[in-house]
Chains A and B, each alone.
Chain A
């Protein structure tokens, strides 16, 4: 915008400069034209004066003697000749001589009758100039300060290096007037051109003003007064985003406000929140209404001081939390969740940086809302090759998310009895990436649901093609989430003829709050013949009441217990106690992380039903 303003200003300045130059030039041209025309007349007048001199010398070849003064006939003839030279421009043409007193007197006067001087009549002239011509015998042209005479040309007539007469030609004032009149149409034309240009400039200025005004209007969200996405598009193009921190702000439970109090109240909240942003932030910060109740804020961060920035963000958060929103007797309290991308320079593009702020906002929302989530660990996560939501989405869309299968061995028969499906992302460089690097980021997103559906679908497809029993990992939260549970049940329903070959391994690390739902949904799954395993048992929040509430078929003893079972008596005893517990509850057991023959031997010794680990088989693609 500023760049455009500068350009417009420059263009206008250039146009004004051209107009001024043309105007100055017109005066210059007029003066030159006037001077040239005058010179033409003066040159012509000089020729006429020379002609008169020639005539005089022919008439009086021996000079102006007393005889010449007395020869009236000759003077009349001469006067008639000089009269012929009178024109509107050459107003007076006359010849004077200088008497003994230094006065100038008429010798011949060809001027019109009413202005004609008589022979020998004195004419009061500017003697200094006439004497100069008389003495120097050189032509002289000088401006007059007379009412009717504009300029006078004096031409000496000399005989034997002695000036005897001076031919004078007075130019009429009509000459400069005629020159002016000649130039006038040209000047008028220029004036019209100037006026036309001035009008054009005004129109252009008006257009520029309108365009800027319209552009400004197109940048503003009419409801909140914040910038809109049009502005965002231009802003990220024109600015170095690395000098900003990016905040993605979402009004918590905004839908409920709209549903409970109506859209007018919702609009009021949006307006007031945007207004509060404006009050809390600095002039150089930018607030964009990103979506319905989502705002994108660019906080100027030239000092690269995250602590200071976080203070601003906290102040913003606290201001909104403290503020009471009033509408028609209603008093509302509103909170916001904020995702803060402090390091946009780590991203390939501004778009990615904004997406990351969005990811952080999602984290804030799914972990309870009304909080600020920053990305101070982002760099660390980058080093750990964690994938963003968008990379995961891209991989899912490109079919780069698939299942690897690790065999599970019957410890008594040493034969593969089933496989555990383990989800993997194949990176663009064919690197195989495990779920810790991409699953965490997509939890509680639609993408997670899509991924779960894909995995369940693929597992059933594999069961059908290979007739192998396969176990599949799910979180307890997956079972509780109605939408996701529906997806899972739909897949099981669609493959119910092979559902008994599926085992669902439930990760136990999450705290269960609603057993009723879990129980109901697990019963539903089990009704298709699907077996339920409790994964990673023995680590984290191992909660024995789960056996009371839920029907469990298999316990998978956590790898952290198994891997050192060979060397640690404590771990051996823990595993033993789990096996005892499982047997007493008629539950099968699986030992994970069996990485050596020694561990496998211990597993056999403990009478654990199944074993799984790199010693027995790595996760691999399953060949059909």
Chain B
């Protein structure tokens, strides 16, 4: 049911919302699916634009230091060192951080694409809700 709702949400937001709003909603869903027990999730990103967008979401607290973050969204290649969860915004980055990143969200051919890497989810003790399981890749 939640799966249907997510798809409906994606379709609705694609139809009537802007790309940014869609992104915000998808990130909101992903972050709270990954960290379901966090009342406030501390978020860091190397993209100021993304931080501004996501900072307005309820239950998200933007932090400046990646070491204070619960989850980091990486948009470009870097030697990032932190213990927080890593999420990327492109397929090449996902390959780059394939041993650390729990997943990625990016646009391809106008379509929103979500990928979760099962090994890294497991490493971090994350169990996604059933609605998200279709996006999980066992082998990458």
A complexed with B: yes
Tell me the bound Cα distance from A185 to B91 in angstroms: 44
Size category, B interface? 10 to 19
The secondary structure that dominates the B interface is mixed
- A124 to B11, Cβ gap below 8 A? no
Asked if B109 is at the interface (CB within 8 A of a chain A CB), the reply is yes
Decide: A145 and B11 in contact? CB cutoff 8 A: yes
Contact digits for A140-177, partner B, Cβ 8 Å, 1 yes 0 no? 00001111110000000000000000000010000000
Residues in chain A near residue B112, CB distance under 8 A: 124
Chain A residue numbers with a CB within 8 Å of B15 are 145
Residues on B with C-beta less than 8 A from A103 are 134
The interface bits of chain B over 10-28 (1 if a CB of A lies within 8 angstroms of the residue's CB, else 0) are: 0100110001000000000
Known: A145-B14, A145-B15. A123 touches B113 (CB 8 A): yes
CA distance A92 to B113 in the complex (A): 16
Chain A nearest CB, measured from B22 CB (Å): 9
Residue pair A123, B137 in contact (C-beta under 8 Å): no
Distance, CA A189 to CA B84, complexed state (A): 63
Query: Residue among A91, A103, A122 with the most chain B CB within 10 A?
Result: A122
Provided the pairs A145-B11, A146-B14, A147-B19 are in contact, do residues A92 and B109 lie with their beta carbons within 8 angstroms?
Answer: yes
CA of A148 to CA of B111, assembled, Å:
9
Bound: A124/B11 CA distance, A: 12
| Chain A proximity of B34: nearest CB distance (Å) | 18
Which residues in A have their C-beta under 8 angstroms from that of B135? 124
> Cβ of A125 and Cβ of B115 under 8 Å apart?
no
- Chain B hits for A341, CB < 8 A: none
Q: Which of B11, B14, B109, B113 contacts A122 (CB 8 A)?
A: B113
Q: Which A residues lie within 8 Å of B109 (CB)?
A: 91-92, 94, 111, 115, 117, 123, 146, 148-149, 170
> Within the assembled complex, what's the spacing in Å between the Cα atoms of A147 and B23?
13
Size range of the chain A interface in the assembly: 20 to 34
Task: Looking at the assembled complex, report how far the CB atom of A149 sits from the nearest CB atom of chain B, in whole angstroms.
Answer: 4
Residues in B neighbouring A94, C-beta threshold 8 A: 109
Give, as a whole number of angstroms, the nearest-CB distance from A119 to chain B.
Answer: 12
Nearest chain B CB to A104's CB is how many angstroms away?
Answer: 11
For chain A residues 63-119, which have a beta carbon within 8 Å of chain B?
91-92, 94, 103, 111, 115, 117-118
Known: A122-B137, A145-B15. A117 touches B110 (CB 8 A): no
Whole-angstrom distance between the Cβ of A60 and the nearest chain B Cβ? 23
Instruction: Decide: A148 and B110 in contact? CB cutoff 8 A.
Output: yes
Name the one of A91, A115, A144, A147 contacting B108, with C-beta atoms under 8 angstroms.
Answer: A115
Q: Which B residue sits closest to A147, measured CB to CB?
A: B110
Kindly identify, within residues 110 to 140 of chain B, every residue whose CB is under 8 Å from any CB belonging to chain A.
Answer: 110-115, 134-135, 137
Write 8 A-B pairs (CB below 8 A) sorted by A numbering: A103-B134, A111-B109, A118-B91, A121-B91, A123-B113, A124-B112, A146-B111, A149-B110
Q: Which positions in B face A, CB cutoff 8 Å?
A: 11, 14-15, 19, 91, 108-115, 134-135, 137
Contacts A115-B109, A146-B111, A147-B14 given; 8 further ones with Cβ under 8 A?
A: A92-B109, A123-B108, A123-B113, A144-B110, A145-B11, A146-B14, A146-B110, A147-B19
